[in-house]
A and B are shown apart, each in its own frame.
Chain A
Amino acid sequence: MAVATADIQTHVAELSDGSFEAFCEDISGMFGADVTCERQGVRVGAAKDLRKHFKKLTAVHHVEATGMLNGTYHLVFDQGGLFILSGVIVMLPERRIREEVKRGSADDAENLTDAAREVGNLLVGSWDRAFREDCEEHDHFLKTGTFIGKPWDDLSEVDLTDDTELVSVLYEMTVEPYPTFRCAALFPKTMIDGAAGSDAVAEPEEAPAAPAEPAAVEETPPTPAQVTVADSPAPVVEEPPEAAVSEPSAAPVETEPAQPVEQSDPPEAEPVSEPTEEPVAEKASEPVAAQIPSDIQSVVEAVVGDTTDVVPDVKQEVVPEVKQETVQASPAPVAEPATPPPAATSTSASAATFMDQILADSGSYPGDTAITDLLRTAAKDIMTTDVVWSAPEDTVQDVVAKMQQNNTGYVLIGTDGVLEGLVSNSNIMSAISPYLRPMFAKWRRPEDDATLEIKIKWMMSRPVRTVTPEATLGSMIESMRRYGGRCLPVVDSQGSVQGIITVFDILLRVLAAEKTFSWEGNPPQAPPLLI
């Protein structure tokens, strides 16, 4: 029996490793954070002995297990883990997260209760999935509640006693760029013993008939040094005396409804309707209600659409189909000037594009020759080569500063010249609090400043629709009209960004083609100064 228990203990510890790793990957994937964790040891001992590892505020997620493990176990984060993980998923500013890691109070934690619960939900989801993949006997994990407070003041708050014997798998987790924090999986010893005594328990894969490795047990008693985070300032900061911290009001225990899930099959196929092919390709083939412009003004309207509409620009730069990172603009129209225009009713999918029609109609309207020539202008000849870049990790404030310094409404986001996203003035203005505008300065709150600290990678449009240097202005207008973007990076065959074409570049070219208009300089494009 003792041998089997040791085997199970080792097996559970290994499954815990995989589960926490799955959680790290999930958080990384969902929130773009770099998350890693490393097991520090396995200890067997009384619950009260864990106090030294989790001195300050602690988040304890209760998990009901069925399958190989039966009963309730706990997943625990120290104060650092509580504030860092909760803060990351609600995108709190880095400065505030760091502050709360050091000096966060029970009230601060209470403000993040909902976020902490969601961290627990994601955590248990990761654990459930990892166990399904690696443990045939696993049935289901269900989070039944979350406690936030100081459980070691009164362990009954988390359904334990001082002397409850626990098998604790201890970890250090790091969410860059924050300090390392501690977390753990706490299994009642009786749960491990129960699993060891169950007929359903499988022998460990690597050593089906061998006695338990002593090392598996000797891994158990870590010295305090093993679980102490030497370079982790947050957990070792002495806590200022706070009467309120120990009050139960800061320790809500929430109960979640049970779900009757008993299946342990791996969830491979998600039964969403079959993937369609290219939703936007279908969109692109829709008949275009072409209204052939007869003068420059109608070309302008074709490009900018409803010029009073500002906010939609945020989304319009996002390419609806996400399969491709970059999308080439439609080929340059090559319609011959002599080609007769399609019949007015000819708006079938196979008909020429909107711009094809314009070109095909050239000569029908006064001044159209100049427009036709203009529409055939190549991107490389009119693009703005002075492109402003920012890194995905830069904040909104950083990007606003760059826009203002360079009087540009568009910033490319990427690293080492690799285009990852695009941010427009409108993206920025819709992301930040309106209270940052000077007229609302009087009512400005810290939360409003916080919106400037959001990393730009969360705001950027992606993937980015691009054009080749040879793309014609007509095809770019067509692209903007059809997909709504107002800025097209020009990317060569090597994938290098050569410049950008914005709607302003096009408008200025259109104006230049018509001699009766005069213009000079660049229109203001950057967002307004924020105080």
Chain B
Amino acid sequence: MGKSLMIVDDSATMRKIIMRTVRMSGLEFDRTEEAGSGVEALQKLEAGAVDVILCDVNMPEMNGTEMVKKAREMASCNGTKIVMVSTESGQDLIDQVMADGADGYITKPFTPEKFQEKLAPLLN
């Protein structure tokens, strides 16, 4: 059965860049969704879970760390892998989001190879 991906970022530009990079990485997803905020992402997750979420950290309305916490409270997201994508590279932040339930952290700048390296193990 095919995998599904959701990209959560308040920047439409960055969502496209991430989508393009995922495509270039060779990872295959049968279904992809986008959300412009943590709130929108949670609404979409209520309607249907996805296998992988790539989520920005700095977002208005609800930031990535809050979204991870709330997603982890949703039964439908039990099996969902959440990977944060951010320019923030402070170890404290990384530790915090991992403790909150993220499965991985990708720092910008990213490359297709980095996506492959970080996401492929989670998909298996």
- Residues in chain A within 8 A of chain B (CB atoms): 26-27, 29-30, 89-90, 114-115, 117-118, 121-122, 124-126, 128-129, 132, 140, 256-257, 259, 261-267, 270-276, 279, 282-283, 315-316, 318-322, 458, 461-463
Interfacial chain B residues near A90, Cβ < 8 Å: 13, 16
Would you call A279 and B11 a contact (CB within 8 A)?
no
Would you call A256 and B89 a contact (CB within 8 A)?
no
Would you call B17 and A89 a contact (CB within 8 A)?
yes
Interfacial chain B residues near A319, Cβ < 8 Å: 26
A466 to chain B, nearest CB (A): 15
Would you call B58 and A256 a contact (CB within 8 A)?
yes
Would you call B109 and A122 a contact (CB within 8 A)?
yes
Would you call B109 and A275 a contact (CB within 8 A)?
no
Tell me how many residue pairs across A and B have CB atoms closer than 8 Å. 144
B76 within 8 A of A: no
- Residues in chain B within 8 A of chain A (CB atoms): 11-14, 16-17, 20-21, 23-28, 57-60, 63, 83, 86-95, 98, 103-113, 116-118, 120-124
Given the interface pairs A114-B12, A267-B107, A276-B124, the reply to whether A461 lies near B89 with Cβ below 8 Å is no
Interfacial chain B residues near A125, Cβ < 8 Å: 86-89, 107-109
Given the interface pairs A90-B16, A257-B58, the reply to whether A320 lies near B28 with Cβ below 8 Å is yes
B3 to chain A, nearest CB (A): 11
Would you call A273 and B103 a contact (CB within 8 A)?
yes
A280 to chain B, nearest CB (A): 8
Would you call A129 and B104 a contact (CB within 8 A)?
no
Report how far A114 CA is from B58 CA in the complex, Å.
Answer: 14
Report how far A292 CA is from B14 CA in the complex, Å.
Answer: 47
B83 to chain A, nearest CB (A): 7
Give 4 A-B pairs besides A279-B120, A321-B116, A322-B116 with Cβ atoms closer than 8 angstroms: A259-B58, A265-B91, A270-B105, A318-B25
Report how far A264 CA is from B57 CA in the complex, Å.
Answer: 18
Given the interface pairs A315-B23, A320-B27, A458-B20, the reply to whether A263 lies near B93 with Cβ below 8 Å is yes
Would you call B90 and A275 a contact (CB within 8 A)?
no
Would you call B104 and A322 a contact (CB within 8 A)?
no
A165 to chain B, nearest CB (A): 30
Would you call A272 and B83 a contact (CB within 8 A)?
yes
Given the interface pairs A117-B11, A125-B108, A256-B58, the reply to whether A261 lies near B90 with Cβ below 8 Å is yes
Interfacial chain A residues near B88, Cβ < 8 Å: 125, 128, 259, 261
Interfacial chain B residues near A282, Cβ < 8 Å: 124
Would you call A115 and B13 a contact (CB within 8 A)?
yes
Report how far A6 CA is from B92 CA in the complex, Å.
Answer: 33
Interfacial chain B residues near A30, Cβ < 8 Å: 17, 21, 108-111
Would you call B87 and A322 a contact (CB within 8 A)?
no
A276 to chain B, nearest CB (A): 4
Interfacial chain B residues near A458, Cβ < 8 Å: 20, 24
Given the interface pairs A272-B83, A273-B104, the reply to whether A259 lies near B93 with Cβ below 8 Å is yes
Interfacial chain A residues near B63, Cβ < 8 Å: 257, 259
Would you call B91 and A274 a contact (CB within 8 A)?
no
Would you call A124 and B120 a contact (CB within 8 A)?
no
Report how far A125 CA is from B104 CA in the complex, Å.
Answer: 18
8 A-B residue pairs with CB within 8 Å: A257-B59, A270-B104, A272-B122, A276-B124, A318-B26, A318-B28, A320-B27, A322-B25
Would you call B120 and A118 a contact (CB within 8 A)?
no
Given the interface pairs A89-B13, A118-B14, A320-B28, the reply to whether A132 lies near B111 with Cβ below 8 Å is no
The answer, among B87, B91, B116, for a CB contact under 8 Å with A128, is B87
Would you call B90 and A267 a contact (CB within 8 A)?
yes
Interfacial chain B residues near A272, Cβ < 8 Å: 83, 103-106, 118, 121-122
Interfacial chain B residues near A267, Cβ < 8 Å: 89-91, 94, 107
Interfacial chain A residues near B21, Cβ < 8 Å: 30
B2 to chain A, nearest CB (A): 10
Would you call A270 and B107 a contact (CB within 8 A)?
yes
B1 to chain A, nearest CB (A): 14
Interfacial chain B residues near A259, Cβ < 8 Å: 57-58, 63, 88, 93
Interfacial chain A residues near B90, Cβ < 8 Å: 140, 261-265, 267
The answer, among A115, A122, A266, A320, for a CB contact under 8 Å with B26, is A320
Interfacial chain B residues near A463, Cβ < 8 Å: 26
Report how far A259 CA is from B104 CA in the complex, Å.
Answer: 19
A118 to chain B, nearest CB (A): 5
Report how far A265 CA is from B93 CA in the complex, Å.
Answer: 11
Given the interface pairs A26-B108, A318-B26, A461-B26, the reply to whether A275 lies near B91 with Cβ below 8 Å is no
